[in-house]
Structure 1
Amino acid sequence: MSDSVRTEFGDGIAVITIDRPEARNAVDKSVAEGIAAAIDEFESRSDLVIGILTGAGGTFCAGMDLKAFTRGERPALPGRGFGGLTEQPPQKPLIAAVEGWALAGGCELALSADLVVASREAKFGLPEVKRGLVAAAGGLLRLPKALPYQLAMEIALTGDPLTAEKAHAHGLINTLTEPGGALDGAKELAARVAANGPLAVRATKQIVSGAVRWTDAEAFAAQADLVGPVFASADAQEGARAFAEKRAPVWRGE
């Protein structure tokens, strides 16, 4: 694991923290490799249901580390994209817990998540056009799916930041917290998800995320492939028994 990425696992939740506060958590090759390794462990462990991606020191992520870039480093991994995440998000759900800036590639990391919890003082931005560049790590692809078309276009074309309050009003953010409370808010949301059947949560995330790209003809067949193993699982039987017996289910993830 990279020294610039910390992980914490427990109670069904994986917390992945970009830990370069001196560089506003800018992403270099080491960070990209650290995030990818953390995601791999999160995906492989049956005891982990949901993940949280956050940044240390009051900033989510300032994007690409330009100093590292000038040294020839590339903060993207083949097949996985910027930060080891944007082109291959996990199959399990992921929350972005945002304090301060989620800027450029940092905004694209946040947009790669399924849920967003942010401080009221957080700001999101894709300022690449101000530098004659293009936000090519998925931000321009995901933003119009998360926001009204005209607002997404304004943010993309002007490069101006979006406040957390406005992002929340338009549905980009699930929960607003007071400054310093984004990670705790994300953990609270994650705990509500982690209480559910892990196989069902994973399949549900895949169906909801796939629905925006499947055609009507593809959708039910793709859903059936994901749902079949869940209905045949021991957890499905346990959920039904627990309901009948009026007790909390004990999930096995199988």
Structure 2
Amino acid sequence: MPGSDRKDVGAHPRRAGTTLLITIDRPRARNSVNAEVAALLASALDELEADPELRAGVLTGAEGDFSAGMDLKAALRGESPDIPGRGFGGVTEADRTKPLIAAVEGWAMGGGFELALACDLIVTAEDAHFGLPEVKRGLIAAGGGAIRLPRRIPYHLAMEMLLTGEPVSGDRAGELGLANRVVPAGQALPEALLLAERLAANTPLALAAVKAVARAADGAAEADAFAAQRTVMSELMATADVREGMTAFAERRAPRWTGK
């Protein structure tokens, strides 16, 4: 759409089969997050969680950028991009059972990078940029960046990004293990949707169980992590989908999941 006629609409969800595509749609503001965008993102995640036909979500930005993070102009007006109990953009502290994939083109800076870090998988264009420049504005990456980044990549490399505020390319993000896929420019969204389709072939109950175990194990002692896993597995083994998976394997056919 021509830039002079376009109105930024905040963020919107669109269904693509069993995937909910969530697009931050403020390209003139580099898809930065204000209070309206945060509320819309939280609403989209609610839709993803509530609809049993949806298996995964893909989060992306409109027209070439993922997100520049917090809308500083809106913040100066007193707007908050945080939602109580859900964190920055309604995403970074949200309790989700379904996988969320970030499809990153262009800039994922500050809170934008933190949105990607909150996702379960990341697909990035090779020429994208990831950075946490908050220290350059007298702030810290408080939307999960200072917590999650040192857990995802070697400590000293994470601290370099956090303390200098300098970005890394999509290629470098792949080398560091931050991204699941590194693709040519313009291909992050198609690749992320293909990845979501692969997830959708599995029962949603198992996907939720994987997320629950991984979350319980994060920072926990090994014995506590196994105890949490036993609880999750006990609930999972009692489901019809587990029996269906085993039966389908024995009968050499594709499983027919019910989510029960």
CA distance in 1, matches of 2:221, 2:15: 37
Which residue does 2:174 correspond to in 1? 168
Deviation at 1:199, TM superposition (A): 0.2
After TM superposition, the score normalised by the length of structure 2 is 0.94
Which residue does 1:66 correspond to in 2? 72
Unaligned segments of structure 1, at least 5 residues: none
Give 2:15's match in structure 1, choosing from 9, 14, 17: 9
Residue by residue, what CA displacement relative to the aligned partner does 1:159-196 show, whole Å, maximum 9, x if unpaired?
A: 00011111101110000111111011101111111101
CA distance in 2, matches of 1:196, 1:39: 20
Deviation at 1:132, TM superposition (A): 1.5
**Amino acid in structure 2 at the alignment position of 1:39:** L
Q: Does residue 150 of structure 1 match 2:156?
A: yes
Q: Does residue 28 of structure 1 match 2:34?
A: yes
Confirm or deny: 8 A CA contact 1:89 1:112 kept in the other structure: no
Q: Secondary structure of the residue that 2:70 maps to in structure 1?
A: coil
CA distance in 2, matches of 1:154, 1:38: 34
Confirm or deny: 8 A CA contact 1:47 1:253 kept in the other structure: no
Where does 1:189-208 land on structure 2 (aligned, <5 Å)?
Answer: 189-208=195-214
Residue by residue, what CA displacement relative to the aligned partner does 1:25-66 show, whole Å, maximum 9, x if unpaired?
A: 000000000010111111112222211111111000001111
CA distance in 2, matches of 1:187, 1:211: 28
Confirm or deny: 8 A CA contact 2:9 2:26 kept in the other structure: no
**Amino acid in structure 2 at the alignment position of 1:190:** A
Where does 1:91-102 land on structure 2 (aligned, <5 Å)?
Answer: 91-102=97-108
Q: Does residue 19 of structure 1 match 2:25?
A: yes
Between stretches 144-153 and 40-49, larger displacement belongs to 40-49
After TM superposition, the score normalised by the length of structure 1 is 0.96
**Amino acid in structure 1 at the alignment position of 2:28:** E
**Amino acid in structure 2 at the alignment position of 1:136:** A
Deviation at 1:3, TM superposition (A): 4.0
> Pairwise CA RMSD of aligned residues?
1.3
Unaligned segments of structure 2, at least 5 residues: 1-7
Which aligned segments of 4 or more residues in structure 1 are displaced greater than 3 angstroms?
none
Confirm or deny: 8 A CA contact 1:89 1:113 kept in the other structure: no
Deviation at 1:157, TM superposition (A): 0.5
Q: Secondary structure of the residue that 1:239 maps to in structure 2?
A: helix
Give 1:243's match in structure 2, choosing from 228, 235, 249: 249
Percent identical: 53
Aligned residues: 253
Q: Does residue 79 of structure 1 match 2:65?
A: no
